[in-house]
């Protein structure tokens, strides 16, 4: 038969063990669960643009486009200058109506030239946006792949005027991005 004293001491022992466990939340800690550290990376896309073959090709395409537009504008500017010089040379022999007509033609051509220049500037800006967005998309795909391989949760852009003011060099994945992009598109042999 059970002894009443033994049953009571077992109950006390059980209470002594359970009460502190219940007061501290059982097996769970009362502290919030610790989160793993957030893994960050930074990339300097301006550096990537300057140091990769894909960036070089993008810059060359943009420069070629701009030079072509500039050449067209320079030819038109020379023609306007020639028209102005002719008007000045012939001003003394032209009648008042003849001079006024030529001045009007010259004014219209200058206005047309200015409009064309503004349009070409817009074209250049659009081309720049197109070329740089294409490069950026390619670079972002590579950044995403590298970030996933490294287990990074966030990659921020760094560089002048960018959102990152300071980042330790150990977080910079720019060199890896440059290497990966150059691996996909090796330098041209000269």
**Which pLDDT does position 74 carry in this prediction?**
95
pLDDT value at 16 more than 70: no
In this structure, the number of other CB atoms found within 10 A of the CB of residue 70 comes to: 12
Three-state SS at 165: coil
Per-residue pLDDT tens digits for 129-187: 999 999 999 999 999 999 999 999 999 999 777 777 888 898 999 999 999 999 976 55
What's the token pair of residue 64? 């070629």
**Of the candidates 16, 22, 48, 82, the residue with the CA atom closest to the CA atom of residue 181:** 48
**Which pLDDT does position 160 carry in this prediction?**
79
**Which pLDDT does position 4 carry in this prediction?**
45
Rg (CA), the chain: 37
For the chain, what percent of residues have pLDDT higher than 70?
78
Determine the average pLDDT of the residues in 112-120. Answer: 95
How wide is the angle at C-alpha 92 spanned by C-alphas 86 and 98, nearest 5°?
70
**Which pLDDT does position 107 carry in this prediction?**
95
What's the token pair of residue 19? 């009460």
**Which pLDDT does position 151 carry in this prediction?**
93
pLDDT value at 93 more than 70: yes
* pTM score, whole prediction: 0.66
pLDDT value at 60 more than 70: yes
């Amino acid at each position: 038969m059970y002894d009443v004293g033994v049953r009571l001491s077992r109950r006390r022992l059980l209470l002594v063990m359970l009460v502190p466990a219940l007061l501290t939340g059982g097996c769970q800690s009362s502290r919030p669960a610790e989160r793993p550290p957030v893994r960050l990376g930074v990339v300097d896309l301006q550096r990537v643009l300057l140091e990769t073959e894909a960036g070089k090709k993008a810059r060359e395409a943009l420069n070629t486009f701009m030079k072509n537009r500039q050449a067209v504008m320079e030819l038109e500017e020379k023609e306007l200058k020639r028209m102005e010089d002719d008007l000045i040379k012939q001003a003394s022999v032209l009648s008042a109506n003849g001079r006024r007509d030529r001045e009007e033609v010259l004014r219209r051509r200058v206005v047309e030239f200015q409009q064309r220049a503004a349009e070409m500037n817009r074209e250049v800006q659009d081309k720049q946006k197109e070329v740089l967005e294409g490069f950026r998309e390619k670079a972002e795909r590579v950044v995403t792949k590298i970030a996933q391989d490294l287990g990074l949760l966030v990659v921020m852009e760094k560089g002048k005027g960018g959102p990152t003011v300071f980042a330790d060099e150990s977080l910079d994945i720019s060199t890896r991005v440059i290497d990966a992009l150059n691996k996909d598109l090796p330098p041209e042999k000269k």
